[in-house]
Amino acid sequence: MSPASTDSPTAQLAPGLYLVATPIGNDADLSPRARDVLTRADAVLAEDTRRAGLFFRRLSITRARPGFFSLHEHNEIGRVPQVLEMLRQGQAVALISDAGTPVLSDPGFRLARACRESGFRVTSVPGPSAPVVALSACGLPPAPYTFLGFLPRQKGQAKKLLARHAATGATLVFFERKDRLAATLALAAELLGDREFALCRELTKVYEEFILGRLGRLQDANLDVLGEITVVIGPTPLGGPEPLGGPDPASAAGPDLEAIMTEEKARGGKPREVARRVALRVPGLSVKEIYERLGHNG
Using one digit for the tens of pLDDT, what is the confidence trace for 193-205?
Answer: 999 999 999 999 9
Long-range contact pairs involving 288-295 (C-beta distance under 8 Å, separation at least 24)? 288/220, 289/249, 290/261, 293/257, 293/261, 294/261, 294/265, 295/271
pLDDT of res. 227: 78
Q: Are 107 and 72 in contact (CB under 8 A)?
A: yes
Q: Which of 24, 10, 92, 91 is nearest to 55 (CA)?
A: 24
Q: Which of 216, 194, 160, 228 is nearest to 23 (CA)?
A: 228
CA distances from 139 to 143, 210, 213, 255, 298 (A): 12, 10, 12, 25, 27
Kindly report the average pLDDT of the chain as a whole number.
87
Q: Are 154 and 193 in contact (CB under 8 A)?
A: no
Give yes or no for residue 6 having a pLDDT over 90.
no
pLDDT of res. 127: 96
Query: Can you tell me the distance from the alpha carbon of 83 to that of 65, in angstroms, rounded to the nearest whole number?
Result: 16
Mean pLDDT, residues 51-65 taken together: 94
Strands 171-176 and 229-233: antiparallel
pLDDT of res. 222: 85
The distance of Cα 263 from the centroid of its chain, to the nearest Å, equals 30
Query: Can you tell me the distance from the alpha carbon of 216 to that of 125, in angstroms, rounded to the nearest whole number?
Result: 40
Per cent of the chain over pLDDT 70 is 89
Determine which of 78-87, 166-175, 216-225, 232-241 has the lowest per-residue pLDDT on average: 232-241
| pTM, to two decimals | 0.75
CA distances from 174 to 19, 84, 130, 229, 232 (A): 21, 32, 10, 9, 7
